[in-house]
Structure 1
Amino acid sequence: MPPLPPPTVIDQPLPYVERLARRLPGQVDLVVVHCTELPDLATAREYGERVLYASGTGNSGHYYVDRDGTVLRYVPEDRIAHHVRGWNERAIGIELVNRGRWPDWLDSRRQAMDEPYPEAQVRALVALLRQLALDLPALRYITGHEDLDREQVPASDDPALRVQRKLDPGPRFPWEQVLAAIPLRRLPDPPPAAP
């Protein structure tokens, strides 16, 4: 792998970050790639700040990578972020800004995820993944949110139809390019997570 400079990471901790449970770096062996399924970084931040749990915390990834390659850290690695059911204790969540199915996430007629991932965003992701592999001694695996959350739910336009709850990062994510450039391997056929 050719050397890449470490990414410039902008720390922007979420307001509730101190309420998130702590963990040791040795517990982290997995990166989960997500896409925000929102129109822009500002909207993703707004969603990340929403308090959804009695603990005073909400749903968020650790890192957000904007379309232009800007990398922001909302949650430090030693905190457990809520980004994928059943896998959070062992995983780093990386959110790529991408519209996905927004604003009709569960509409059966709008399940295509057509927005490509810009080269600047992919390069920044690769640099971040390489740095995380250096910083976290147990980090070995990478996977997509869609691989871990396979739940089918009623479609918002017709409850008789079922759609997949999570499809991110989706068919436009360049897995082959990313995997060729990082020291992590794809998590092999992950079993369903515990609820």
Structure 2
Amino acid sequence: MLPDLPLLPIHIDPLPYEARLDARPREQVDLVVMHCTELPDLAMARRFGEEVLYQASGTGNSGHYYVDRDGSVHQYVSVERVAHHTRGYNPRSIGIELVNRGRYPDWLAAGHQTMDEAYPAAQILALIALLQRLRTENPSLQLIAGHEDLDTTEVEASDDPSLKVRRKRDPGPRFPWDEVLQAVPLKRLQPETSLP
């Protein structure tokens, strides 16, 4: 049993197409997938999330929660809806996006694969509080993974098609896995044991 958690203000701002996303019971959710936006700020991440990419459903790609550098938490998709954030894992997972520039703007350039922006303490503290709250509200939630753990696809580099780069590298090498896992009772889903 987790102790009472401190108040965590969450700014609820549903995406325009949220109601068109598939519904699901909370009991179906057993996994959190950690992402970084790979964009310069929350406003641009919101614009990307609002883009309709799937014409048949009128929906796009987005996480459920976004945590900004200042520690503010924004919910764009309800946990009871399936957000499009990790191929093969969406029906069972909650996607959390941390605002971080990652490889922006040359995501797939072979010469630009370094992800050197640190995650500020306020952002990580807010993430831990969010994960603790999600764990309390969703007893079936047991696992956590990075997007890079679950999508290991390689694609041609945008600056040199003879080279391959990882399609997804988030949350990246600066994400403090040890700190997060010590604070939250979730088990890291390792690639060799992950299921589609």
- Alignment partner, residue 39 of structure 2: 38
Superposed CA RMSD: 1.4
* Paired residues of 2:128 and 2:183 also in contact (CA < 8 A): yes
Could you say what secondary structure the match of 1:159 adopts? strand
Alignment of 1:10-159 (within 5 A): 10-53=11-54, 54-159=56-161
* Paired residues of 1:6 and 1:128 also in contact (CA < 8 A): no
Normalised by the size of structure 2, how large is the TM-score? 0.96
- The Cα of 1:6 is off from its aligned counterpart by 3.5
- The Cα of 1:40 is off from its aligned counterpart by 0.1
Gaps of 5+ in 2: none
Task: Provide, for residues 65-111 of structure 1, a one-character-per-residue CA deviation record: whole Å limited to 9, x for no partner.
Answer: 00000000000000000000000000000000000000000000000
- The Cα of 1:189 is off from its aligned counterpart by 3.0
- The Cα of 1:191 is off from its aligned counterpart by 5.1
- Equivalent-residue separation in structure 2 for 1:30 and 1:189 (angstroms): 13
Which stretch shifts more, 180-189 or 28-37?
180-189
* Number of equivalences: 194
Gaps of 5+ in 1: none
* Paired residues of 1:28 and 1:91 also in contact (CA < 8 A): yes
Which stretch shifts more, 136-145 or 181-190?
181-190
Normalised by the size of structure 1, how large is the TM-score? 0.96
Q: Partner amino acid for 1:8?
A: P
- The Cα of 1:192 is off from its aligned counterpart by 6.5
Q: Percent identity?
A: 62
- Equivalent-residue separation in structure 2 for 1:50 and 1:177 (angstroms): 34
Task: Provide, for residues 41-81 of structure 1, a one-character-per-residue CA deviation record: whole Å limited to 9, x for no partner.
Answer: 00000000000002000000000000000000000000000
Could you say what secondary structure the match of 1:153 adopts? strand
